[in-house]
Amino acid sequence: MITTHGDRPRRAPSRAQLPERPTWWAQAARDVARAVVPVQCAGCAGRDVRWCEECEAPWWEVPLRSESAAPRLDIPGQSPLPVWAIASLTGTNHAMVSAWKDAGRRDLDAFFADAARRGARAIASAVAPAITVVPVPARRRSTRRRGIDLPLLLAQSTAAGLRDAGVEAQVMRALTIGTGEQRGASARERWRQASSVRAMRGGAVPGRVLLVDDVVTTGATLAAAARALEMTFLTVAAGFCLASAPASGARAVGQVS
């Protein structure tokens, strides 16, 4: 007789004395686990899935140019910064981003890292042949609370996606929010207060920069980051975000500026 893993000969004697483990027990165990740590879709709160197909779908879309919806993205003396975003920051998309950033849904780290990587592949031709990927840093207390540097995660995934598509891309943490950070400060103020730019070795990386942030709303943060980098040899060429807030809450699906 051929023994398989399913025969479990060593445990058979004791288990043979017991009634078959009832299936209700396994179901009850899952119910208890769910009561302690409810599993629900991060977008629509549907039960028993971490994210449902409908809420996942927008994150597979090809990124769209979004700078026209960001009124404060203007950088005096420069043409508007091209900014791509994968999804609109509305509805279940917004809920998923909030769950990820603010509600401790660390299971979404890989989800959004994958989304960034896919999106970066799609925009690679626009930033070829080489680019330096710079994360827009999160506040330190946010990173402490989350236990993970989300902007850095996104930047690394973005660079990986660009490399997938043949672009020479590497991450440089060229920006940092300084000790002048104040509660309630606007993005512009925060960056003005910041030490902002670390000492860097010039010429070691491509001078063109792709700024990466989780979301773009008014564009003020990206604009401030771009201005901070003006003091360096780096020049911001474009921005890339997971999601962008619609200009008036009514941006048409598929609209490209």
Interface residue list for Zn ion (CB under 5 A): 41, 43-44, 46, 52, 55
Token pair listed for 173: 């943490």
Q: For Zn ion, give the closer residue by CB, 46 or 207.
A: 46
Q: For Zn ion, give the closer residue by CB, 32 or 39.
A: 39
**Taking the complex as a whole, how short is the minimal distance between the CB of residue 93 and Zn ion, in angstroms?**
10
Q: For Zn ion, give the closer residue by CB, 90 or 170.
A: 90
Please give the Cα distance from 239 to 94 (Å, whole number). 19
**Taking the complex as a whole, how short is the minimal distance between the CB of residue 49 and Zn ion, in angstroms?**
7
**Taking the complex as a whole, how short is the minimal distance between the CB of residue 108 and Zn ion, in angstroms?**
12
Q: For Zn ion, give the closer residue by CB, 43 or 82.
A: 43
Please give the Cα distance from 5 to 38 (Å, whole number). 33
**Taking the complex as a whole, how short is the minimal distance between the CB of residue 111 and Zn ion, in angstroms?**
12
Query: Which DSSP letter does residue 249 get?
Result: S
C-beta of residue 133 within 8 angstroms of C-beta of residue 172: yes
**Taking the complex as a whole, how short is the minimal distance between the CB of residue 197 and Zn ion, in angstroms?**
40
Please give the Cα distance from 42 to 149 (Å, whole number). 20
Q: For Zn ion, give the closer residue by CB, 49 or 247.
A: 49
Rounded to 10 degrees, the C-alpha dihedral 182/183/184/185 comes to 10
Please give the Cα distance from 26 to 30 (Å, whole number). 6
Please give the Cα distance from 90 to 168 (Å, whole number). 33
